Structure 1
Amino acid sequence: MAKEKAKKEEKSEAKHSSEKKKGGHVREAGVYPRLAEKYKKEVVPAMMKRFNYKNVMQVPKLEKISINIGVGQATQDAKLIETALAELEAITGQKPAVTKAKKAISNFKLRQGLPIGVRVTLRGKMMYEFLDRLITLAMPQIRDFRGVSDRSFDGRGNYTLGIKEQIIFPEIDADKVTKISGMDITFVTTAETDMEAMELLKLFGMPFIKREQPLAKAS
């Protein structure tokens, strides 16, 4: 009996260890992300009331979040790509991919196929967890932060946010950073209009700056 109990405890510890992600992320088994729960209980009803959808299937969803870090100087220093990979994995908890130049540009000494950045695409739980940390932990660390612009929608219900410094994320140790780098974060939604996409992100907690001229409705 004692041996069986010890084995069960070992399995439990191993399972807990496997749930730990690089960058300090710990995902508890069976725990639903806070924003995923918020979407079902708060966002969907609010969107249906705001846009008069006939059923819940019409309510836009956040489909994925794509994060890209451009590393133009990687042509001179290959270690910059390794650093960017490590930092993006720490921030998101997911292994990124290297982006490579699609064509050569002689003026920048850039050859086709050379690494020029890193990217990662988040979906499901990882997506919701990243969005939660971005809004509640990272954005408040931006100096003189007053909100984000609503002028970066693409006309198809997707929004791109530019971050100037990776050190706003709690997973990054500012004392160990040798080079400040920014990133582009693109929120891909199923919304048909920018207005619907903006309302969706706003209900998740995205702190858009208020302006006098609102986004126009689709004709």
Structure 2
Amino acid sequence: MANYIPRLKKVYNDTIAKELYKEFNYTTPMQIPAIKKIIVSMGVGEALTNKKLLDAAVTDLTQITGQKAVKTRAKKSIANFKLREGAEVGVMVTLRGATMYEFLDRLINVALPRVKDFRGIKATGFDGHGNFSFGITEQIIFPEIDFDKITKIAGMNITVVTSAKTDAEAKALLTKFNMPFRK
């Protein structure tokens, strides 16, 4: 397993990087944008009353990403939501390296086509610094999840952090990875 290279990383190194180098007229290969990390998170607000939902979310996210998910805590108290500072209200995972490329491959080629009435992802999720965020409403689009063992259908937020300086560069990078943006 030591010399294993994920399929998307090989595609990036062989074709995508060269295409971006020519397209944006970079002067050095270090300017070519790359994906740095992918952050997948799930908010589980109902975990305040039912702790089993949080454990189920950790299990689901661990199965989907292939990496152990961690519980996140509330940063501040909000009385209207009966939320106390430090209460566990979500789970998240930060993917880097080979795991990141494998997750991105499964997301683009397997999971997103399984979304009901899928017409593409809105390209409005860029933050101005080359990072792209979008949401998924159901975790059951991933084939790793056994539909019969789901306690509650939950959505997740996915953030793709790139080294691109502008949104145009980041969109070009993700488009070359076949990210299905809405036309």
Taking structure 1 as the reference length, the TM-score comes to: 0.82
1:46 aligned residue: 19
Letter in 2 for 1:177: I
C-alpha separation in 2, matches of 1:115 and 1:140: 32
Residue 188 of structure 1 aligns to a residue whose secondary structure is: strand
Preserved CA contact (<8 Å) 2:53 2:151: no
Question: Structure 2: any 5+ residue segments left out of the alignment?
Answer: none
Aligned residue pairs total 183
1:13 aligned residue: none
Matches within 5 A, 1:168-179: 168-179=141-152
Residue 151 of structure 1 aligns to a residue whose secondary structure is: coil
Question: Structure 1: any 5+ residue segments left out of the alignment?
Answer: 1-27, 211-219
Letter in 2 for 1:167: I
C-alpha separation in 2, matches of 1:144 and 1:194: 27
2:165 aligned residue: 192
1:130 aligned residue: 103
Letter in 1 for 2:108: I
Q: Which moved more, 1:111-120 or 1:170-179?
A: 170-179
Shift of 1:29: 4.5
2:180 aligned residue: 207
Are positions 1:61 and 2:72 aligned together? no
C-alpha separation in 2, matches of 1:149 and 1:50: 23
**Which of the numbers 28, 45, 54 marks the counterpart of 1:81?**
54
2:113 aligned residue: 140
Letter in 1 for 2:84: R
Residue 56 of structure 2 aligns to a residue whose secondary structure is: helix
C-alpha separation in 2, matches of 1:109 and 1:130: 35
Letter in 2 for 1:78: K
Q: What's the CA shift string for 1:116-172, capped at 9, x where partnerless? A: 100000000000000000011100100011111100100110000100000000100
Preserved CA contact (<8 Å) 2:56 2:151: no
Shift of 1:55: 2.1
C-alpha separation in 2, matches of 1:199 and 1:65: 17
Flag the structure with more relative contact order, 1 or 2, with Cα contacts below 8 A and sequence separation at least 6: 2
C-alpha separation in 1, matches of 2:100 and 2:111: 15
C-alpha separation in 2, matches of 1:118 and 1:64: 17
Question: Identity of counterpart residues, as a percentage?
Answer: 54
C-alpha separation in 1, matches of 2:106 and 2:13: 19
C-alpha separation in 1, matches of 2:46 and 2:56: 12
Residue 30 of structure 2 aligns to a residue whose secondary structure is: helix
Letter in 1 for 2:90: G
C-alpha separation in 2, matches of 1:198 and 1:138: 20
Preserved CA contact (<8 Å) 2:78 2:84: yes
2:45 aligned residue: 72
2:68 aligned residue: 95
2:132 aligned residue: 159
Structure 1 residue runs of 4 or more that deviate by more than 3 Å after TM superposition: none
Residue 37 of structure 2 aligns to a residue whose secondary structure is: strand
Q: Which moved more, 1:120-129 or 1:101-110?
A: 101-110
- Please report the RMSD computed on the Cα atoms of aligned residues, expressed in angstroms: 0.9
Residue 181 of structure 2 aligns to a residue whose secondary structure is: coil
